[in-house]
Amino acid sequence: MGKALDGVRILDFTHVQSGPTCTQLLAWFGADVIKVERAGAGDVTREQLRDIPDVDSLYFTMLNHNKRSITLDTKSPSGKEILEKLIKRCDVLVENFAPGALDRMGFTWERVQALNPKMIVASVKGFGPGPYEECKVYENVAQCAGGAASTTGFDDGPPLVTGAQIGDSGTGLHLALGIVAALYQRNSTGRGQKVLAAMQDGVLNLCRVKLRDQQRLARNGVMQEYPQYPNGEFGDAVPRAGNASGGGQPGSIVKCKGWETDPNAYLYFIAQAPIWKEICNVIGKEDWITNPDYATPSARLPRLKQVFEAIEQWTMTKTKFEAMDLLNKHDIPCGPILSMKELAAEPSLRATGTIVEVDHPKRGKYLTVGNPIKLSDSITEVTRSPLLGEHTDEVLAELGYGGQDIAGFRAKKVI
C-alpha cells in the first residue's frame, strides 16, 4: 500500500527533539527523510541519556525512526557542493538550528530559493520575531515563556513545568502541519515558502484556554470554576488551578483504593452536569439530586470542594480500574492516572501501533511510541532509527557520485 507522502523528499537538518519529532511524523507518512549529521558526532542526542555504553540512546532512537542518515560537513567547500545537490533534489528543508546558523553556513533563504525555487524551508525557533528571536531555547524555557508554567501547579506553590513535551514535540507537530500545508499550496503556486513554528507560539497555542480565562478574569475579577472560588483571592493574572478543569465541566483528581502506597492510585473525575443524577446515585448522595444547594451547576460552583470530597469518599473504596468500569456504565467521564509502566503494558495500545516494539542492531528490542495519527490509506510501519551515516554512500550514489568521489570525500573528512 502507498503512503500519503510518497515521493516527498525531506532534507532533515534537525536535532534534539522538536525538529526530529516533525520529520519523524513526515517519515511515518511516507516521506523520504534524509537526516544530515556531522561526521563523527551526529545529533547530540545519540549520546545523551545513554542506557547502554556506545549505543544510540533511546532519546535518539525514539525520535528518528524511518529516516536515513548521512554525515556531511556542510561548512567545507565539498560539503557545500553535496548540500547544493541535495537542496536541488529535495522538496523540504527542515531545521531547528540556533537562529542564524543556516545563514552562517551560507544557505540563506535567497540562496536556497536560487538553487530550488520549489523548496520549502521549515524552521523551529524558540521565539518568533521580537526581542528574544536570537535566543536559544529548550523545552522548559518554552513552557515558561509560552504561558504553560504560570498556569500549571497549585495556587500556593511555584510555577510548574509538565512532563508532556509541549514545547519540543508540540512545536514539531505544529511545524509538520505547516509543511504539509505549504506542500499543498505549492501544488497551485509552484513555489516554495518559509514555514516557521516558534516554540513560544506553539506552547501559547496549546494554552489557548488560559488566555480565554485571562480575559474572563479581567472582565469579572473572579472565575467561579477555579478552586480559588469562593474563599480564595484572585489577582490580576490567571492563577494556577491545581487539578481543577477550570472549564465548562468541573473535574478533579481524586484518590482511589491503594493511594497510600501507590503514587498513581488516582482517577480524574468529571462531574458533568447532564449526568449529575447518576453521579449522586453512584456516590450515595441521592439527596443532592433535589437539594437546591447542589441540584444545579451554578449552585454547585461554590461547593465544588465538597462535591469532590464526597466523590473521593466513594472512589477511595475502589481501585482506579474498578471505578473506571463502574462510572462508565453510567456514562460518567473519568480517567485513571496511568503510569508509564502501565501504558507500556497496555494491550490495546500495542494492538493499534501506538506502542511499538522495535528491533535495533546494536541495542536489541525496545519500546517506542508509534504514530499517534492513523490514516486508513497510509498505514505506518515503524522502522528503526539509522546508525550515524548509515546511508551516506547510498544517498551520494543517488546524487550521481561514484565510488572514487566518495573515497575522495572520505579522505577530505567531508563525510
Q: Which is nearer to ligand COA, 78 or 224 (CB)?
A: 78
3 state DSSP class of 36: strand
Q: How far apart are CA 307 and CA 299, in angstroms?
A: 11
Cβ 402 to ligand COA shortest distance, Å = 23
In this structure, is the dihedral angle defined by the CA atoms of residues 105, 111, 115 and 118, taken in order, positive or negative? positive
Q: What angle do CA 217, 223, 224 make, to 5 degrees?
A: 165
Asked if 154 and 242 count as a contact pair (C-beta separation under 8 A), the reply is yes
Q: Is 209 in the site for ligand COA (CB under 6 A)?
A: no
Residue position matching grid coordinates 498513581: 264
168, 201, 359, 377: which one is catalytic?
A: 168
CB of 77 to ligand COA, least distance (A): 12
Q: Is residue 101 part of the contact set for ligand COA (CB under 6 A)?
A: yes
- The nearest distance, CB 44 to ligand COA, in angstroms, is 6
Instruction: Map grid coordinates 537562529 to a residue.
Output: 99
Spatial separation of the C-alpha atoms in residues 298 and 349, rounded to whole Å:
39
Q: Does 75 bind ligand COA (CB under 6 A)?
A: yes
20: closest CA among 90, 95, 82, 107? 95
As measured in angstroms, the least distance from the Cβ of 113 to ligand COA is 19
Judged by CB under 6 A, the stretch of 14-22, 84-92, 274-282, 407-415 that binds ligand COA is 14-22
Query: How far is Cα of residue 169 from the mean position of the Cα atoms in its chain?
Result: 3
Interface with ligand COA includes 169 (CB under 6 A)? Answer: no
Nearest to 207 by CA among 237, 249, 230, 177: 237
x/- contact string, 20-49, with ligand COA (CB under 6 A)? ----------------x-x-----------
Among the listed ranges 120-128, 216-224, 241-249, 359-367, the one in contact with ligand COA (CB under 6 A) is 120-128
Active site residue 6: no
Assess 161 for contact with ligand COA (CB under 6 A).
no
User: Binding pattern to ligand COA, positions 316-355, x when CB under 6 A?
Assistant: ----------------------------------------
Instruction: Examine residue 125 and tell whether it contacts ligand COA (CB under 6 A).
Output: yes
Ordered DSSP codes for 304-349: HHHHHHHHHHHHTTS-HHHHHHHHHHTT--EEE---HHHHHT-HHH
d(CA 83, CA 87): 6
Rounded to whole angstroms, what are the CA distances from 351 to 6, 54, 357? 25, 32, 11
Q: How many CA atoms does the CB half-sphere of 194 hold within 13 Å?
A: 12
In the complex, the smallest distance separating the C-beta of residue 257 from ligand COA, rounded to whole angstroms, is 40
Part of the chain binding ligand COA (CB under 6 A), chosen from 67-75, 149-157, 315-323, 399-407: 67-75
- Residue number, 140 or 352, with CB nearest to ligand COA: 140
Residue ranges in contact with ligand COA by CB under 6 A = 16-19, 36, 38, 72-75, 96-98, 101, 104-105, 124-126, 136-138, 168
What positions carry a catalytic annotation? 168
